[in-house]
């Protein structure tokens, strides 16, 4: 294991001192090499209440242990299956560095993981994070974990573990990277895998909050390199500063969808991330069917129209890069589509019937 500073957002994070450099003859310390253990310990103190705010009764360990213990309540399931997922935030982090706002990207980190495992019908149980930086700034790192804790609360998942690695010279000053790991559970008979999808089924979309966590390499190149915009620039078409629009956190669909799964048979679900609708919806389609999506079925948020206009981006490129305003999709039988939409509406969602399934190759046809 490399010599790095380890701190904690929950169970594994603690004031670890592995790899500490000491040489009485020369007086060299770990701090002089760029790793400040005292600052790491202060970071732990800042985030203890954040981790505690996400605790579930199944969690058996607290801050500082080498592993996290979680007791699975198997009595709730006939045949429990664990579902895991991992992801990051990508270059959206660059917007956080640019603006100095770090308390939303943690929500993105959780969302990217829990929305993925949700597509299989899984209830998220617990979450772990990894935060790596060149020089730890406890307040900035704590702001990231503040977002992680908020995402966990939205998903109903416990923040049970994590690690912060301080690696001098590896990251640019003021920058960091983050990764997340989620574990959930689903009863095997209730796994949602798309295999029952057939012609005539209905596709329902749930709105996104914006770009979510995908397409930022294109967006950053357009806004900041080609157009030379400042993140603080207020964009009339957006009604807010550009940085605020780009930092809008990824929506977490867990609670409304889990409530739906208790009442209705959902045939397939897709989280619309990198690759857009074009690249993600076909992942759940069985052989011999395709999805027909009506582009005029929903109002595309202004941020996408602005990118298309300023960059001269084609429709095909937009739909295979961005979510275009739809962050999550469900496929249901036509007999229950109205009731499913109504149930989602009562749960606070704004569902839109955006298409249907027909015979064809496993892809997406836009009309």
Domain assignment present for 314: yes
Which stretch of DSSP H or E encloses residue 105? helix 105-118
Same domain, 239 and 184: no
User: How would DSSP label each residue in 293-328?
Assistant: E-GGGSPPPHHHHHHHHHHT--HHHHHTTS-TTEEE
Count of domains in the chain? 2
User: H/E/C letters for each residue in 116-144?
Assistant: HHHCCCCEEEEEEEEEEECCCCHHHHHHH
Same domain, 40 and 114: yes
Structural tokens at position 178: 């983050």
Domain assignment present for 223: yes
Structural tokens at position 289: 């069917």
Domain assignment present for 196: no
Work out the burial of residue 246: count CB atoms within 10 Å of its CB; fewer than 13 is exposed, 13-18 middle, 19 or more buried. buried
Same domain, 154 and 292: no
The parent domain of residue 105 ranges over: 5-190
Same domain, 110 and 36: yes
CA 284 to chain centre: 19
Same domain, 103 and 214: no
> What pLDDT tens digit does each residue of the chain (367 aa) get?
333 344 443 444 654 333 444 455 567 776 776 767 776 677 677 777 888 889 999 999 876 778 889 999 878 889 999 999 999 999 999 999 999 999 999 999 999 999 999 999 999 999 999 999 998 888 999 999 999 999 999 999 999 989 989 999 999 989 999 999 999 999 999 999 999 999 999 999 999 999 999 999 999 999 999 999 999 999 999 999 999 999 999 999 999 999 999 999 999 999 999 999 999 999 999 999 999 999 999 999 999 999 999 999 999 999 999 999 999 999 999 999 999 999 999 999 999 999 999 999 989 999 9
pTM for this prediction = 0.90
> Alpha-carbon dihedral of residues 185, 108, 161, 31, nearest 10 degrees?
160
Domain's final residue, options 156, 190, 224: 190
| pLDDT of amino acid 22 | 46
Same domain, 182 and 141: yes
Angle between helices 337-346 and 254-261 (to 10 degrees): 140
Same domain, 93 and 221: no
Q: Where are the alpha helices (DSSP H) in 156-275?
A: 216-220, 242-246, 254-261
CATH number of domain containing 286: 3.90.650.10
CA proximity to 103, closest of 161, 50, 42: 50
Domain assignment present for 82: yes
Domain assignment present for 197: no
Same domain, 68 and 182: yes
User: How would DSSP label each residue in 64-86?
Assistant: T-SS--B---GGG-SSEEEEEEE
Domain assignment present for 92: yes
Domain assignment present for 294: yes
Q: What are phi and psi of 209, to 5 degrees?
A: -100, 5
Domain's final residue, options 190, 215, 232: 190
| pLDDT of amino acid 26 | 63
Strand intervals (E) in 134-281: 158-166, 176-187, 202-207, 234-235, 240-241, 268-271
Domain assignment present for 195: no
Same domain, 91 and 209: no
Domain's final residue, options 160, 190, 220: 190
CATH number of domain containing 177: 3.30.1330.10
Q: What are phi and psi of 203, to 5 degrees?
A: -105, 125
Same domain, 157 and 14: yes
Same domain, 151 and 249: no
Same domain, 186 and 211: no
């Amino acid at each position: 294991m490399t010599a790095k500073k380890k701190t904690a957002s929950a169970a594994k994070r603690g004031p670890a001192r592995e790899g500490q450099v000491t040489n009485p003859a020369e007086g060299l310390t770990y701090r002089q090499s760029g790793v400040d253990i005292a600052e790491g310990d202060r970071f732990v103190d800042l985030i203890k209440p954040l981790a505690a705010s996400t605790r579930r009764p199944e969690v058996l360990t607290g801050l500082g242990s080498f592993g996290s213990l979680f007791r699975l309540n198997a009595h709730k399931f006939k045949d429990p299956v664990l579902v895991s997922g991992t992801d990051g935030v990508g270059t959206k982090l660059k917007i956080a560095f640019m603006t100095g706002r770090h308390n939303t990207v943690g929500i993105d980190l959780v969302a990217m993981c829990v929305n993925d495992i949700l597509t299989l019908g899984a209830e998220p149980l617990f979450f772990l994070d990894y935060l790596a930086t060149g020089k730890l700034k406890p307040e900035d790192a704590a702001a990231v974990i503040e977002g992680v804790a908020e995402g966990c609360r939205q998903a109903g998942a416990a923040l049970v573990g994590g690690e912060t690695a301080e690696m001098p010279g590896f990251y640019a000053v003021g920058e960091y990277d983050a990764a997340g790991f989620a574990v959930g559970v689903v009863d095997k008979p209730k796994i949602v895998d798309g295999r029952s999808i057939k012609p005539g089924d209905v596709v329902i979309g749930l709105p996104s909050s914006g770009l979510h966590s995908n397409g930022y390499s294109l967006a950053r190149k357009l806004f900041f390199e080609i157009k030379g915009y400042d993140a603080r620039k207020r964009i009339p078409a957006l009604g807010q500063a550009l940085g605020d629009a780009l930092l809008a956190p990824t929506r977490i669909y867990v609670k409304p969808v889990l409530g739906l799964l208790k009442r209705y048979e959902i045939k397939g679900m897709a989280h619309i991330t990198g690759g857009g609708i074009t690249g993600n919806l076909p992942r759940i389609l069985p052989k011999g069917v395709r999805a027909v999506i009506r582009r005029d079925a929903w109002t595309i948020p202004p941020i996408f129209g602005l990118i298309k206009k300023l960059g001269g981006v084609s429709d095909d490129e937009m739909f295979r890069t961005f979510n275009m305003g739809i962050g999550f999709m469900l496929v249901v039988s036509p007999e229950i589509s109205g009731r499913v939409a109504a149930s989602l509406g009562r749960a606070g969602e704004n569902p839109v019937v955006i298409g249907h399934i027909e015979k064809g190759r496993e892809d997406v046809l836009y009309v």
